[in-house]
Copies of this chain bind each other. A is one copy, B any other.
Amino acid sequence: MEEVTILTIAKRANVSHTTVSRALNDSPLVKEETKRKIRKIADDLGYVPNINAKGLVEKRSFIIGIFFSELDTGTSPSFLVDVINRSKEALPVGYSISIDSIEALDGSNAMSRHQYDGAIVVSQSTNDDAFINMMIERGLPVVILNRKINREDVSNFTTDDYLGARKLMEYAVRMGHQKFGLIKGASDFVSTHDRQQAFLDVTAASGATVKPEWIQQGTYLPDSGYESMRTILGAIDTPTCVFASNDDMAAGAVRACQDLGYSVPDDISIIGYDDMSYAKYLVPRLTTVRKPTDDIVQEGIDALTKLLDGSMTDPIKKVIVPTLIVRDSVKDLRK
A residues near B (Cβ < 8 Å) are 1, 46, 48, 50-53, 55-56, 61, 63, 71-72, 77-78, 80-81, 84-85, 88, 93-94, 96-101, 104, 109-110, 112-115, 138, 222, 226, 248, 251-252, 254-255, 258, 277-278, 280-283, 285
Q: Is the CB of B56 within 8 A of A53?
A: yes
Q: Do the beta carbons of B88 and A99 come within 8 Å of each other?
A: yes
Bound: A316/B110 CA distance, A? 31
Main secondary structure of the interface of A (DSSP, over half): helix
For A110, give its contact among B72, B84, B93, B138 (CB under 8 Å).
B93
Which residues in B have their C-beta under 8 angstroms from that of A56? Answer: 50, 52-53, 56
Q: Tell me the minimal C-beta distance from A53 to chain B in angstroms.
A: 5
Task: Give A46's nearest chain B residue, CB to CB.
Answer: B109
User: Which of B55, B99, B138, B281 has a CB less than 8 Å from the CB of A255?
Assistant: B281
Distance in angstroms from A93 CB to nearest chain B CB is 7
- Most chain B CB atoms below 10 A, which of A94, A248, A280, A285: A280
Contact A115 B254 (CB under 8 A): no
Q: Name 18 extra pairs, CB < 8 A, besides A50-B115, A71-B84, A254-B281.
A: A46-B112, A48-B113, A48-B115, A51-B52, A51-B61, A51-B113, A52-B52, A52-B55, A71-B88, A80-B84, A81-B81, A88-B99, A222-B278, A226-B281, A251-B281, A255-B285, A258-B283, A282-B283
A281 touches B222 (CB 8 A): yes
- Residues on the B chain within 8 Å of A114, using CB: 51, 94, 96
Chain B residues lying within 8 Å of A71, measured Cβ to Cβ, are 81, 84-85, 88
Question: Could you say which residues of chain B place their CB within 8 Å of the CB of A50?
Answer: 56, 115
Q: How many copies does the complex hold?
A: 2
User: What residues of B have a CB within 8 angstroms of the CB of A78 in the complex?
Assistant: 77
Give Cα distance in the complex from A85 to B80, angstroms: 11
* Minimum CB distance partner of A110 in chain B: B93
CA distance A1 to B140 in the complex (A): 13
Cα(A68)–Cα(B104), bound, Å? 25
Find chain B residues with CB under 8 A from A93 CB.
110, 113
- Chain B residues lying within 8 Å of A112, measured Cβ to Cβ, are 46, 48
Q: How far is the CB of A317 from chain B (nearest CB, A)?
A: 28
A100 proximity list for chain B (CB < 8 A): 88
Check if A52 sits within 8 Å of B48, measured CB to CB: no
Given A51-B61, A281-B222, A283-B254, also A72-B97 (CB < 8 A):
no
Bound form: Cα–Cα A281–B101 in Å: 27
Which chain B residues border A52 with CB–CB below 8 Å?
A: 51-53, 55-56, 61
Q: Which residues of B contact A48 (CB under 8 A)?
A: 109, 112-113, 115
Query: Closest CB of chain B to A268's CB: distance in Å?
Result: 14
Which residues does chain B contribute within 8 Å of A63, judged by CB atoms?
Answer: 63, 96
| Inter-chain contacts of A77 with B (CB < 8 A) | 77-78, 80-81
CB distance from A30 to the nearest CB of B (A): 23
CB distance from A135 to the nearest CB of B (A): 13
Once the chains are docked, how many angstroms separate the CA of A304 from the CA of B138?
34
Shortest Cβ distance from A202 into chain B, in angstroms?
27
